[in-house]
A and B are shown apart, each in its own frame.
Chain A
Amino acid sequence: MTKNNKISSILIANRGEIALRVIRACKELGIKSISVYSDEDTRSVHVKRSDEAYYIGKAPALESYLNMSKIIEVANTVGVDAIHPGYGFLSENEGFAEMCERNGIIFIGPTSEAMEITGDKMKCKAIMKKARVPTVPGSDGVIDNVEKAADIAHNAGYPVLLKSAFGGGGRGIRFANDEKQLKQEFEMASAESKAAFGKAALFVEKYLQRIRHIEFQLIRDAYKNSRHLFERECSVQRRHQKLIEMSPSPVMDQKTREKVGEIAVRAAAAVDYLNAGTAEFLRDQEGNFYFIEINSRLQVEHPVTELVTGGIDLVKLQISIARGEEISFSQQDLKMHGCAIECRINAEDPFYDFTPSVGPVPNCNIPYGPGIRVDTYLYPSCTVSAYYDSLVAKLIAWGRDFEEARIRVRNALDEFTIEGINTTIPLHKTIMDEQNFISGDLSTDYLERFNIIDKMRENAKEESQRVSSAAIAAILLQSEFVKKGMSGSSMTSKAQLQKSKWKRIGREFNGI
Chain B
Amino acid sequence: MEFKLADQATVLDGELIRTVGRESILIKINGKEHNVRLLKSGTQELEFILDNSFHHAKILNWSSSEIKTLIDGQVLTIKKHSRLTDVLEKSLSLTSFGKGENNLTSQIPGRVVSILPKVGSSIKKGDAIVILESMKMQVAVKAHKDGHIKEIRAKEGSTVARYDVVAVIE
Give A contacts to B, CB under 8 Å.
347-348, 354-359, 365, 386-390, 416-419, 461, 463-465, 467-478, 480-482, 486, 489-491, 495, 498-499, 501-502, 505-506, 508-510
Contact = CB atoms under 8 A, between A and B. Distances in A.
A464 B119 CA distance: 41
A347 B162 CA distance: 15
A505 B5 contact: no
Nearest to A171: B136
A475 B3 contact: yes
Given A417-B73, A469-B29, A475-B67, A356 B134 contact: yes
B95 interface: no
Nearest to A59: B159
B21 to A, nearest CB: 13
Contacts of B1: 476, 506, 509-510
B139 to A, nearest CB: 6
A468 B50 contact: no
Interface string B84-105: 1001100110000000000000
A508 B162 CA distance: 39
B62 A476 contact: no
A276 B15 CA distance: 62
Given A355-B139, A386-B108, A505-B87, A473 B3 contact: no
What DSSP secondary structure best describes chain A's contact surface?
helix
A467 B36 contact: no
Interface in B21-39: 25, 27, 29, 34, 36, 38
Given A355-B107, A473-B48, A498-B92, A468 B12 contact: yes
A356 B137 contact: yes
Contact of A473 (B55, B92, B135): B55
B135 A389 contact: yes
Given A474-B55, A495-B62, A502-B80, 7 more contacts: A389-B136, A467-B72, A474-B46, A474-B48, A475-B78, A476-B16, A477-B25
A498 B42 CA distance: 19
Interface string B104-131: 0001111000000000000000000000
Contacts of A490: 43
Given A390-B137, A509-B87, A464 B5 contact: yes
A474 B59 contact: yes
Contacts of A464: 5, 8, 74, 76
Contacts of B158: none
- Taking residues whose C-beta sits less than 8 angstroms from the other chain, chain B's interface range is 35 or more
The 9 A-B pairs with the shortest beta carbon distances in the complex, nearest first, are A417-B73, A474-B57, A356-B135, A472-B14, A390-B135, A470-B55, A356-B134, A386-B109, A386-B134
Contacts of B71: 467, 470-471, 474
A481 B107 CA distance: 34
B57 A461 contact: no
Nearest to A506: B1
Nearest to A501: B92
B76 to A, nearest CB: 5
B64 A498 contact: yes
B72 A359 contact: no
B8 A461 contact: yes
B5 A468 contact: yes
A417 B8 CA distance: 23
Contacts of B162: 358-359
Contacts of A477: 25, 36, 38, 41, 46, 48
Contacts of A495: 62
A354 B55 CA distance: 29
Contacts of A465: 5, 8, 10
B110 A474 contact: no
B63 interface: yes
8 contacts: A464-B74, A467-B74, A468-B5, A470-B53, A472-B12, A477-B46, A501-B91, A506-B1
A356 B106 CA distance: 12
A355 B3 CA distance: 30
A400 to B, nearest CB: 29
A390 B101 CA distance: 30
Contacts of A418: 73
Contacts of A389: 135-136
B70 interface: yes
A480 B16 contact: yes
Contact of B88 (A365, A463, A471, A502): A502
Contacts of A387: 135
A470 B35 CA distance: 11
A390 B41 CA distance: 34
A476 B109 contact: no
A356 B70 CA distance: 20
A491 B43 contact: yes
Contacts of A461: 7-8
A470 B15 CA distance: 13
B34 A469 contact: yes
A305 to B, nearest CB: 25
Nearest to B81: A509
Among A348, A463, A477, max chain B CB count under 10 A is at: A477
A305 B27 CA distance: 51
A287 B95 CA distance: 66
Given A477-B46, A482-B46, A501-B91, A468 B108 contact: no
A375 B107 CA distance: 28
